[in-house]
Amino acid sequence: MESENSLEVPERSGRPTPHEAQEWGRSLEALLSHHNGIQAFRSFLRSEFSEENIEFWVACQDYRATKSAAKVVPKARKIYSEYISIQAPKEINLDSQTREAITHSLAHPTMCCFNAAQRRVYSLMEKDSYPRFLKSQMYQDLIGSGQR
């Protein structure tokens, strides 16, 4: 599996240190491996009215970590209805083949049924919103807050 698929949603912690925030500048993977990084990135995306990508990514991480077989189908359907279906409230940008494959997999969802969509969203964030985040005032404030 690719690295973005193996990342787990990290534990919660307090406000990030400037050093921790600087680590997020290494890669999107580094950012997404910290709870505070995810929260800062989500806040940034919310300010741009585009938080559906990070929310979908986090939902997929949570889905893949599901231990109870009884929860797999309801979680898969929830992700589908919130992010995948046409005109979903938080619809993510997917090609029709990926969307169709996910739709067909809902009858018997597997732990990897959202992998292609998650890779697409990760790639989109890595090439588009992540570089904007690094240039944002929000991120600059986080890395500079300890250098005063």
What pLDDT is recorded for position 15? 80
12 assigned to some structural domain: yes
98 assigned to some structural domain: yes
3 assigned to some structural domain: no
pLDDT, tens digit, 9 for 90 and up, residues 55-66: 999 999 999 999
2 assigned to some structural domain: no
What pLDDT is recorded for position 5? 40
Range of the domain at 122: 8-144
125 assigned to some structural domain: yes
Q: Which of 110, 127, 130, 105 is nearest to 64 (CA)?
A: 110
Percent of the chain exceeding pLDDT 90 equals 86
Q: Given a cut of 80, is residue 36 above it in pLDDT?
A: yes
Give the H or E element holding residue 3: helix 3-6
Q: Which of 43, 25, 32 is nearest to 7 (CA)?
A: 32
1 assigned to some structural domain: no
88 assigned to some structural domain: yes
pLDDT, tens digit, 9 for 90 and up, residues 114-143: 999 999 999 999 999 999 999 999 999 999
Locate all alpha helices (DSSP H) within 15-95, ordered by sequence: 18-24, 28-32, 35-47, 52-64, 69-79
Rounded to a whole number of angstroms, the distance between the first and last alpha carbons of the chain is 42
pLDDT band at 108 (very low <50, low <70, confident <90, very high): very high
What pLDDT is recorded for position 13? 53
Please count the residues of the chain: 148
Counting the structural domains of the chain, the total is: 1
Q: What is the CATH number of the domain that holds 12?
A: 1.10.167.10
Mean pLDDT estimate for the chain: 90
119 assigned to some structural domain: yes
pTM for this model (two decimals): 0.85
| 16-33: average pLDDT | 96
